[in-house]
Each structure stands twice: as C-alpha cells, then as structure tokens.
Amino acid sequence: MSDSISTQLENIKHIILVLSGKGGVGKSSISTQLSLCLAKKGHKVGILDIDLTGPSIPRMFGLENRQVHQASSGWVPVFTDESQNLCCMSIGFLLQKKDDSVVWRGPKKNAMIKQFLSDVCWGELDYLIIDTPPGTSDEHISVVEYLKDANPDGAILVTTPQAVALADVRKELNFCKKVNLPILGVIENMSGFICPHCEECTNLFSTGGGEAMANEFGVEFLGRVPIDPSLTLIVENQDSSPDKDLIKKYSASNLFKVLSNITDKIIEKVSLKDT
C-alpha cells in the first residue's frame, strides 16, 4: 500500500467491502442501508462507490447534483447533511452529466480506484463501506491489493434466494478465500415482498438459499432482507420531499429494524479487531 493510501486511511477504524458475484442483487441498497444504520447508531461513516460503470450511491443518497471539491490534501467527499457524520465518494460526482457512460479498460479502472483511496480526505471515520461492482474482476483484485496493509475487517456477501444468484455468489466466496479476505457473513436480499397495504411478507422467489450456502461454506448468515416498496419511495422522493433527513426517514421504515439487527451483528464481529 502506497504512503498516500496509508495517510488517507490511517484514521479509519473499520473497512468493510460489500461484494457479490451476481449483478442486480442489491449491493448498493445494502451498502446504503448499512451506512444509514451505522450513522443512526452514532458512528461516523464513509461510503466509497467503486462500481465505476454503474455508480448508484449518488442517487441512493439524493446527491446526484452534488460535486466533489478539491482541498490542499485531496478530494473532499460529499456529505449527506450538515452533521457531516455520513459522506460519500463516487465517480458519479465526477461526471459532467449523470447519464454519461464510463468506457474504460482495466488499467484506467485500477488507477481510478487507487486515486479514490489515495486522494480522498476521509478524515476520522468509524466505518468505511466499499460498494463494489458484481464479479471477481479488475476492480475487486485492485481494491483488495491496495487495501492489503490497511487490514480491512472483511467482506459482506449479498445474494438473492434464486439458485442462479447463489451459484455466482459461491464464486465470490471462493474469491475471498483465494485473496485472504475475511468473510463477515452473508445477507439474503430480496427475501420476500412486504405488501405496502397490509405489511404481510410473501416469498416471491424462494427462501433459505443464502443461509444454506453460508452453512455450506462455514460462514455466518447475517439475515434476510425483504423487498419493501417504502425504501423505493424514500429514495425516489428525496428531491420533492421537504424533509431531507434521510437517516430519520429510513429509521422510521420497517426495513430499519431488519438492517439494524444485521448491523449489530456486524459491529459485534468487527469489534473483536479492537480487542
């Protein structure tokens, strides 16, 4: 790890990667909700979006029209509110238009990830959550390599209940073992659908696949997260809503209770590093 990366990350207590071998399983949704839960619990949190060709974090936090500012020590991340307890960095903040495509080969992607780690002034953080693209390719190899000396706490793997998703997430589990990245646990996302009228949960796909896979690989199963339309409304209505406090709105949702329990498990696991 370069001296510049060491300098920018030296005041970050915990680094967690959110991974999945499959696209469309909700990594960005889980990264967002985990960050909101940690911030609600009083932690200072940063979220780094290294999905360079499909950055979702600016939209998830209602920050699409915000820009990154340059300071003498590097890029200043975009804060979600005046408390500055939650900040984000994404290539989405660097594009001239939000619909601009990023058409880069591997070396340029790797250089961008290195720049995110070496040039962003994260300051003092309790947690840095890294939202990754699907797969086990350039971005994943690069970020693990650059973070090697920072001793990241590990990875959270996100899957959905379907067999096709589970098959790809198994590859991600094997990737973590090959690069010696600790696995904090598995989350089964989209496990059921919460009716917006009666709040009854119905299994649209199947259930239990994520837990069975976790047991197969000997890793912790962190929990199931259902599809809840209220989260979509919170995210999509941020521009029109008079209340801009995303943490407050999310903490009033049904999903907060689910993710809060998962977050507590993660906090307990990574706290062992401090002892």
Question: From the annotation, which residues make up the binding site?
Answer: 21-28, 195, 198
Determine the average pLDDT of the residues in 236-254.
86
Q: Answer whether residue 246 shows pLDDT above 80.
A: yes
Element (H, E) at 249: helix 246-251
Confidence of residue 1 (pLDDT cuts 50, 70, 90): low
- Note the pLDDT of residue 256: 95
DSSP-derived 3-state class of residue 54: coil
What mean pLDDT value characterizes the chain?
A: 91
Q: Which pair of tokens denotes residue 171?
A: 């590859």
Question: From the annotation, which residues make up the binding site for ATP?
Answer: 21-28
Element (H, E) at 29: helix 27-40
45 vs 21: which has the higher pLDDT: 45
- Note the pLDDT of residue 274: 67
- Note the pLDDT of residue 209: 85
Q: Answer whether residue 147 shows pLDDT above 70.
A: yes
Residue 127, beta-bridge partner list: 14, 45
Determine the average pLDDT of the residues in 234-249.
85
pTM of the predicted protein model: 0.94
Determine the average pLDDT of the residues in 107-130.
95
135 vs 3: which has the higher pLDDT: 135
Determine the average pLDDT of the residues in 101-122.
93
Residue 235, beta-bridge partner list: none
Q: Answer whether residue 114 shows pLDDT above 90.
A: yes
What CA–CA distances, in Å, run from 235 to 242, 244, 247?
A: 13, 11, 11
Question: From the annotation, which residues make up the binding site for [4Fe-4S] cluster?
Answer: 195, 198
Q: Answer whether residue 273 shows pLDDT above 80.
A: no
Q: Which pair of tokens denotes residue 168?
A: 């790809």
Question: Which range has highest mean pLDDT (97-111, 170-184, 232-246)?
Answer: 170-184
Determine contact, residues 258/177, Cβ cutoff 8 Å: no
Determine the average pLDDT of the residues in 50-70.
93
Q: Answer whether residue 240 shows pLDDT above 90.
A: no
Backbone angles phi, psi at 175, to 5 degrees: -60, -45
Q: What percent of the chain has pLDDT over 70?
A: 99
Q: Answer whether residue 275 shows pLDDT above 70.
A: no
